[in-house]
Structure 1
Amino acid sequence: MTMGTGRRLGLLDIAAANLDQVPGGRRRGPVHAAEADAAVEAFRATHESVTAVAAFDDDVALRTLTALHDLGLTVPDDIAVIGFDDTEYGALITPALTTVHIDAEAQGRLAARTALGLDTGGITRSPGRVLVRDSACPGGP
């Protein structure tokens, strides 16, 4: 049984509300810098108490970092940012992006073999881990 994306997002909103957190909403990630600046500014105006952003992936996190900088905010002092997927660019910017590293290759092999009904016994997976960098840790890790 599969669950549609809309229903999963609805469940996330319910979970966020139950935890007194801001629901994720359904936003398309900004493509251009001006769009990112406007999206982050609008979000901050309506959610002033938010102190951290966990982005969908490192690309969105990097756009968020740029927008926060353009708006005169300091990361992580004003707001912390974390990405997901550990792209190489995250370590090259200032502040360096905190991210979640996963073994995407092994996860992909596992998913493909499972979908095809093949044996998954020989696949070794590493657990995901948070790479703490400056964007989520005032004063550095």
Structure 2
Amino acid sequence: MPGKHDERQKLGSPRAARRRTTIDDVAKLAGVSRQTVSRAINDKGEIDPATKERVLEATRTLGYRPSRFAQGMRRQDSVTLGLVISDLSNPYFAEVAVAVLEVAEERGWHVIVCDSRNDEGKEQEALDVLSRQADAIIGHCSSPDDMLARHAPGMPLVLLERGVDQTRFGSVGIDTEAGMQQAFAHLTGAGHRRIGMLDGAPDDRPSARREHFLAQVRLYDLPVGPDWVVSCDRHSVSAGERGMDALLDAHPDVTAVVGFNDLIAVGAIRTARRRGLRVPDDVAVLGFDGLALGELVEPPLTTLSIDKRELGRLAVEQVAAQLSADEKPAAEGDARVRPELVLRASA
């Protein structure tokens, strides 16, 4: 699952920095007309070699990349969208990929999907490939902004699950604060005060979900400290099983657990039942994702559901707005998806 980017990170003025470099910028820097820039980058005749080199140097300096979208419109070709997913074996990311594919295909766009397998090196290799083959990129990317700019120079780029204050590129975030508010309103309303969490990030790089969890602990004045949060080494069922064992060993009086994602929460249920605990009578378990598989486990998983379709729609709209000055995204500024609590039998 996502959420590995700290929402507190500030990276300057994102709205200003997200502006795509245009042919007019290149023309101004090179001191030539738009037509001369077009002839230079398309290797047309009737242009002085020194002028051509000055234009090309300006494109390199500014990171300008000619829009394949505009060229495609002239040729009546389709837009090609690159999609970088961090782990297609995780059902959450698979559902996000399907959502982006569906929304893009409604526009007649083609989509190339790359799986980085949670590896920054593979992620950057994917960006290198897509910067040559696609018109724009949407992605779950963990690389910092300067690295993204280096591997996708001049590309329209929208990052999934980063807040607007975390990147200078386009972004669609998850409102984890609103999600944790709903989780605690439900759990404390049911009488729970000893609430633990299984996080999906290491202790030295805590997730935004952990920070909002601890903020709610303080708000409700619960007898819970940071040691009631256990880090899971993977976003998987088995990691959730191990994390739940550690949490129960340290705090056997825990009565409710919030999982970083649904897979970890399912693992928590499995461990609780293996240890003879009834879910939710002895310990309630709540996930964070809204995966379809949550309805298939026993007991069915209560979860904070993320609308993957909305996530895909907002991302594609931002791409379309970057590709065409005539189109504006429906949600400008801080585009975020608000999780919604889905009550089932586990909590």
- Secondary structure, in 3 states, of the residue corresponding to 1:15? helix
**Residues paired across the two proteins, number:** 132
1: CA distance between counterparts of 2:243 and 2:330?
45
2:328 corresponds to 1:132: no
Give the counterpart letter for 1:73 in structure 2: L
Shift of 1:121: 1.4
Shift of 1:31: 5.0
Give the counterpart letter for 1:94 in structure 2: E
Shift of 1:44: 0.9
User: Whose radius of gyration is greater, 1 or 2?
Assistant: 2
**Structure 2 unmatched runs, 5+:** 1-9, 12-165, 167-200, 323-327
2:231 corresponds to 1:26: yes
Shift of 1:109: 3.6
2:133 alignment partner in structure 1: none
Change in Cα spacing, 1:127 to 1:94, as seen in structure 2 (3 Å) is same
1:54 alignment partner in structure 2: 258
Counterpart of 2:294 (choices 78, 82, 90) is 90
1:121 alignment partner in structure 2: 330
Change in Cα spacing, 1:28 to 1:115, as seen in structure 2 (3 Å) is farther
Q: TM-score scaled by structure 2?
A: 0.32
CA contact (8 A) 2:241 2:264 kept: no
1: CA distance between counterparts of 2:297 and 2:290?
13
1:63 alignment partner in structure 2: 267
2:243 alignment partner in structure 1: 39
Give the counterpart letter for 1:75 in structure 2: V
Q: Name the Cα RMSD after superposition.
A: 3.5
2: CA distance between counterparts of 1:7 and 1:70?
28
Show CA shifts across 1:59-92 (max 9, x none).
Answer: 1111111111111111001110111221111111
Structure ranking higher in strand proportion? 2
2: CA distance between counterparts of 1:115 and 1:81?
37
2: CA distance between counterparts of 1:135 and 1:14?
22
Give the counterpart letter for 2:330 in structure 1: G
1: CA distance between counterparts of 2:230 and 2:242?
16
Shift of 1:122: 7.0
1: CA distance between counterparts of 2:340 and 2:214?
27
Answer with 102-111 or 69-78: which moved more: 102-111
- Secondary structure, in 3 states, of the residue corresponding to 1:72? coil
1:76 alignment partner in structure 2: 280
1: CA distance between counterparts of 2:289 and 2:235?
19
2: CA distance between counterparts of 1:55 and 1:30?
10
Give the counterpart letter for 2:292 in structure 1: E
Shift of 1:99: 1.1
Change in Cα spacing, 1:126 to 1:29, as seen in structure 2 (3 Å) is closer
CA contact (8 A) 2:240 2:268 kept: yes
